[in-house]
Amino acid sequence: MNITLVRGDITEQRADAIVNAANSSLMGGGGVDGAIHRRGGPEILEECRKLRASRYGKGLPTGQAVATTAGRLAARWVIHTVGPVHAKSEDRSGLLASCYRESLLVADSLGAASVAFPAISTGIYGWPMDDAARIALDAVRQSGTVVQDVRFVLFDADAYAIFEARLS
């Protein structure tokens, strides 16, 4: 497996699957989630609605992952996962690691060779970037996935530099 870092917008990535930092409702939101639905078009939300009606009546639990079409994006699938909100009083790092692990399990089941991840939970959900980078890289390295190209797409220079320091 090859882990690479890219600075940019995840909605512009060409990859078999891109991962969405979603919320339990699967009904869209801000940040990466908003950008993916805006750019990918209504087909993605349509499939999310069906998933809510069929498998996830109570919402997608934190740390789990599920795939839909990628609509108009240059990817075949969007894998939606729900990161934990960062909390000072409680260690939720296992749930954050689970997002990466479960997303890669879904990618493996789809036969995806390349997967692009955002830095899950580091925006609206408040996770400190350095800690999130450590958890993300460890989880991917320990996953046992057969995905060949795992890419982290970092939105700004600071996030990129933090991931770069952790990767080397």
By CB under 6 A, name the binding residues for ligand AR6. 9-11, 21-23, 29-33, 35, 83, 118-125, 153, 155, 159
Q: Which three-class secondary structure state does DSSP give residue 159?
A: helix
Task: Give the helix/strand (H/E) hosting 5.
Answer: strand 2-7
Nearest to 96 by CA among 152, 139, 33, 153: 139
Please confirm, yes or no, whether 158 is among the known catalytic residues: no
DSSP string, 82-98: EPPPP-SSS--HHHHHH
Please, what is the minimum distance in Å from the beta carbon of residue 44 to ligand AR6? 13
CB closer to ligand AR6, 33 vs 47:
33
Please, what is the minimum distance in Å from the beta carbon of residue 94 to ligand AR6? 16
Please, what is the minimum distance in Å from the beta carbon of residue 161 to ligand AR6? 13
CB closer to ligand AR6, 78 vs 120:
120
CB closer to ligand AR6, 3 vs 35:
35
d(CA 113, CA 107): 8
Given the residues 9, 16, 33, 156, the one annotated as active site: 33
Residues with a catalytic annotation lie at 33
